Chains A and B, each alone.
Chain A
Amino acid sequence: MTSAQWDDDDALEADLRAAMNALPVPEHVVAAAKAAYTWRTIDEELAFAALVYDSAMDSALTGSALVRGAGPRTLLFEGERLSVEIEVTEAGMVGQLIPPGPGGITVLTAAGTYAEAQADEVGCFLLSRPDHGAVRLTCRSGGNTLSTPWLPL
């Protein structure tokens, strides 16, 4: 932690050294953060769904080793008229629209559309996933739309 006292030249220089050398952020990370702004004007018409359950956070809160590794990660996003539940595995994502019904689902990454799928009559769908990175889902079903928050996988 930096010292509270900047009257002393050596203390000031030490703090400056810490400020300049502590956190070299790679240039491509800076570029990616700036490029995030291109999403500013996209998909404004979609209804926003909140993440209401994430099994990963469940185990984090309990801190229980027993819960960990106990099956795929489950996420529930709840919107006003349309919700979606997904299971994330290494291989991909399996999900269901709520209320159940046919529809279209898109996986987005920061770079744009990653994958698309159709949900069947009971709203079930299967999607591929990127190895890592922030993703969001957009869903359309029965005249309703949904957009999840960005989430790192």
Chain B
Amino acid sequence: MLGTRTNTDLVEAAARGDQEGWDEIVQRYLPLVFSVIRRYRLSPKDAEDVSQTVWLRLVEHLDTIREPRALPMWIATTTRNEALRLVSAHRRTTPVDPLGTSTLDAVADTRDVDEQLLGAERQQAMRDGLAELPPRQRELLLLLVADPPLSYETIGARLGMPVGSIGPTRARCLARLRNTPAMQAFLANGHDTDRRWTA
């Protein structure tokens, strides 16, 4: 089940040789890696290379992460450093626009790591919460937030649900999502979550 093991559990499991623990770390934090990478306007290939570097590095660092709750910060910081490295390395071998500012933008991004972490944690809490819902409620919410958007008629047809009951059911599903353990755990940490990893 997604979201039921803490980072401490997962890091310890992965350090013991448990591939499933590792896989769950990947599932949980790959969106964070890509949310950081996205700021550097890398090509898809470079983005994949940075991601791969972060995970290969983490494999070696499992034993040295003394405070497993610091895992997201380690991942975000390593991703930022390696993305910046690749931006710079590739700029050396390609024509440079002397007025270009993206390298400076990237340096300025360092102070945004906390903010990115918080956003990623929020989104992870929602995905974990969604995973904790009964399948039919989860299915309705997934259809409601589909991209591109679906009409109530289409959603009703897919679920075999009268169009008139989608609105009230939506409200019940959202209320239930709000009360899932994953969402409640995130909210219980309050708005100081962005400080948690740096204290």
Question: Chain A residues near B139 (CB, 8 Å)?
Answer: none
Q: Judge whether A19 is part of the interface by a CB distance below 8 angstroms.
A: yes
Q: Does A29 contact B178, Cβ atoms closer than 8 Å? A: no
Q: Judge whether B82 is part of the interface by a CB distance below 8 angstroms.
A: yes
Cβ proximity bits A14-38 to B, threshold 8 Å, 1 near / 0 not = 0111111111011001101110110
Q: Judge whether A60 is part of the interface by a CB distance below 8 angstroms.
A: yes
Q: Does B147 contact A65, Cβ atoms closer than 8 Å? A: no
Distance A40 CA – B144 CA, assembled complex (angstroms)? 41
Question: Chain B residues near A17 (CB, 8 Å)?
Answer: 145, 147
Q: Does A34 contact B174, Cβ atoms closer than 8 Å? A: no
Distance A18 CA – B35 CA, assembled complex (angstroms)? 12
B-contacting residues, A96-153, CB 8 Å? 110, 132-134, 136, 149-153
The 8 Å CB contact of A25, one of B31, B60, B147, B183, is B31
Cβ proximity bits A55-67 to B, threshold 8 Å, 1 near / 0 not = 1110111010100
Q: Does A69 contact B92, Cβ atoms closer than 8 Å? A: yes
Question: Chain A residues near B55 (CB, 8 Å)?
Answer: 32-33, 36
How many residues does chain B have at the interface if contact means C-beta atoms less than 8 Å apart?
64
A108 to chain B: closest CB distance in Å?
10
Cβ proximity bits B89-114 to A, threshold 8 Å, 1 near / 0 not = 10111001010000110110000000
Q: Does B103 contact A60, Cβ atoms closer than 8 Å? A: yes
| Chain A interface category by residue count | 35 or more
Q: Judge whether A45 is part of the interface by a CB distance below 8 angstroms.
A: no
Q: Judge whether B69 is part of the interface by a CB distance below 8 angstroms.
A: no
Q: Judge whether B23 is part of the interface by a CB distance below 8 angstroms.
A: yes
Q: Does B48 contact A32, Cβ atoms closer than 8 Å? A: yes
The 8 Å CB contact of A152, one of B22, B46, B127, is B46
The closest CB in chain B to the CB of A8 belongs to B174
Using a CB–CB distance below 8 Å, which chain B residues touch chain A? 14, 17, 19, 22-23, 26-27, 30-31, 34-35, 38, 45-46, 48-53, 55-60, 62, 82, 84-89, 91-93, 96, 98, 103-104, 106-107, 115, 119, 122-124, 126-127, 130, 141-142, 144-145, 147, 170-171, 174, 177-178, 183, 187, 191
Using a CB–CB distance below 8 Å, which chain A residues touch chain B? 1-2, 4, 6, 9, 12-13, 15-23, 25-26, 29-30, 32-34, 36-37, 39-41, 54-57, 59-61, 63, 65, 68-70, 73, 90, 110, 132-134, 136, 149-153
